[in-house]
Amino acid sequence: MDNQRRNILKFAPFALAGLTDNSVFGQANSPVMTPLFFDVRVYGATGSGRSLDSPGINAAIDAAAAAGGGTVVFPAGTYLCFSIRLRSRVHLYISQGVTILAAGSPLPGQTTGEMGGTYDAAEPKTAYDAYQDYGHNHWHNSLIWGEDLHNVSISGPGLIYGKGLSFGGWIKGERRGDYPIYEAEQDGVGNKTIALKNCRNVIFRDFSILKGGHFGLLLTGVDNLTVDNITIDTDRDGIDLDCCKNVHVSNCTVNSPWDDGICPKSSYALGYARATENVTITGCTVTGYYQLGSVLDGSYKIFPSGENIYRTGRIKCGTESNGGFKNITITNCVFEGCNSLSLESEDGALCEDITISNISMRNLIYGPLFFRLGARLRGPKDSTKVGTLRRILVSNIVSYNSDASIGNILSGIPGYPIEDIKIANFYMQHKGGISPEQAKITPPEGVDKYPDPGVFGPMPAHGFLLRHLRNLEMSHVEIAPMATDGRPAFVLEDVERADFLAITAPTSPPAFALRHAKDIRVNLSRAAKDAVLDRAVNQTL
């Protein structure tokens, strides 16, 4: 070890206290020592949970930035905070035993929140705010935020608790459970746990978030991003990747029973359409356990048996989808008690080149897959046109005990088909038991409606509704109802060139209902005899 390094280590405790003058060390010619770590308590934070610590934390961050970069350390304690402002080349380390606690926002009719403080003001409104919800358009009104940064990171085993944040204001009243309801658009209210805009080289690792506000992580225009081993237990969105490039999300657990778990988006929030691309989501678990905090405390409380309660908790590309989704891999993930895996192009997105593999699902409220190409077209009217949903590979999917009324939906709209879809090694066991009367239903097109399986209502198929598709290949697919179901396993409407190989499904009623289809082949299947059809109208197989 050279002498300079020995000196740095030797004098690190003095440097942490800000004692960097050469005279302190008695060496007139020694180089000025730079702190290795910046302890937030040195800069005024107490960690007592009874005093406001965000001023001291921001001072420590500023000191690290002024030194050219460094690690800001949170020793064990509870740090009551309003907005914490990140800086380039600064790393926050949240130690074991730390809780960063979001202070209470101003209540309706009040100008200040807990201890007379407020969160940073939201950015002024712009002409393009109308193209996405309020929460997507603002970043500064957050517990932790940064804009135009590079080389920034947060890690450590501690907890961030968004107790005082608004979750978006879509439920009216005074309280939701144990939490006050704050109006998201009110001055001084905090709306998100962590929000970044136009940043690069970002790492989030190992910490947990409880009750994350409207978003646990809202990352917009963030490139070269790693999110690893994060646990989020919240009542709105967990991780939103909006207009991001070169992203790795791995080993994360997100419980979000009333909103989306991990959600790539491509909104117009930056003022222009930017794709989310080159994204890997792997080794993650998304769930819909109903009690907030039940994943973090290990109780994993499910919804009461027999209660039909809407919940999400899924992985979804969309709904905001102006810029598109390109080159996406979703693999080795687990779904439990939540909604389907969803791909949605609604606002002109080019949704292309996506691989989905090795997914295990249990107790879903709908079928495992929801692919939707629609025409909500929320964006500038002169440039927003129907997009694409094509070149999608799905393999090695198992789903157990999903609700039966609404199964898998792959649906474009008239004149705009979903294209080039391959599904292989897919096993779906659902509850079954639906009346044959439901087989007569023709679901609404809902061309410009919010895309969600429930919007289309009950399905005429207990396996797949395939509508407005071109070039579909399904192989080694099994649909297994637990109770006898009166609907066909597959309903095809406006489908052209579809191959079905080694399909297993009940044959009574017939597995395939071809309402309007062209160039259909069925081979080596237990669900139906081999068939080659140039055209079929109201035909069964």
**Is 7 part of a structural domain of the chain?**
yes
pLDDT at 88: 98
Per-residue pLDDT of the chain (541 residues; tens, 9 = 90+): 444 433 433 334 334 444 344 333 344 455 556 688 999 999 999 999 999 999 999 999 999 999 999 999 999 999 999 999 999 999 999 999 999 999 999 999 999 999 999 999 999 999 999 999 999 999 999 999 999 999 999 999 999 999 999 988 656 666 777 788 899 999 999 999 999 999 999 999 999 999 999 999 999 999 999 999 999 999 999 999 999 999 999 999 999 999 999 999 999 999 999 999 999 999 999 999 988 899 999 999 988 776 667 789 999 999 999 999 999 999 999 999 999 999 999 999 999 999 999 999 999 999 999 999 999 999 999 889 999 999 999 999 999 999 999 999 999 999 999 999 999 999 999 999 999 999 999 999 999 999 999 999 999 999 999 999 999 999 999 999 999 999 999 999 999 999 999 999 999 999 999 999 999 999 999 999 999 999 999 999 9
What burial letters (b/e) apply to 490-499, b meaning 16+ CB within 10 Å? bbbbbbbebe
**Is 416 part of a structural domain of the chain?**
no
Cα–Cα dist 142/121, whole Å: 9
pLDDT at 79: 98
Q: How many structural domains compose the chain?
A: 1
C-alpha distances in Å from residue 422, one per residue of 392, 395, 408, 472, 527: 6, 8, 14, 6, 19
pLDDT at 172: 62
SS3 letters for 34-55?
Answer: CCCEEECCCCCCCCEEEEECHH
**Is 209 part of a structural domain of the chain?**
no
pLDDT at 7: 41
- For residues 261 and 236, the answer to whether their CB atoms sit within 8 Å is no
**Is 175 part of a structural domain of the chain?**
no
pLDDT at 311: 81
Q: How many helices (H) and strands (E) does the chain have?
A: 3, 34
Cα–Cα dist 391/418, whole Å: 9
- For residues 342 and 314, the answer to whether their CB atoms sit within 8 Å is yes
Cα–Cα dist 287/481, whole Å: 23
pLDDT at 302: 85
**Is 4 part of a structural domain of the chain?**
yes
- For residues 152 and 87, the answer to whether their CB atoms sit within 8 Å is yes
pLDDT at 30: 54
What's the whole-model pTM score? Answer: 0.93
**Is 10 part of a structural domain of the chain?**
yes
**Is 525 part of a structural domain of the chain?**
no
Cα–Cα dist 192/211, whole Å: 10
**Domain span including residue 13:** 1-35
Cα–Cα dist 130/522, whole Å: 47
**Is 28 part of a structural domain of the chain?**
yes
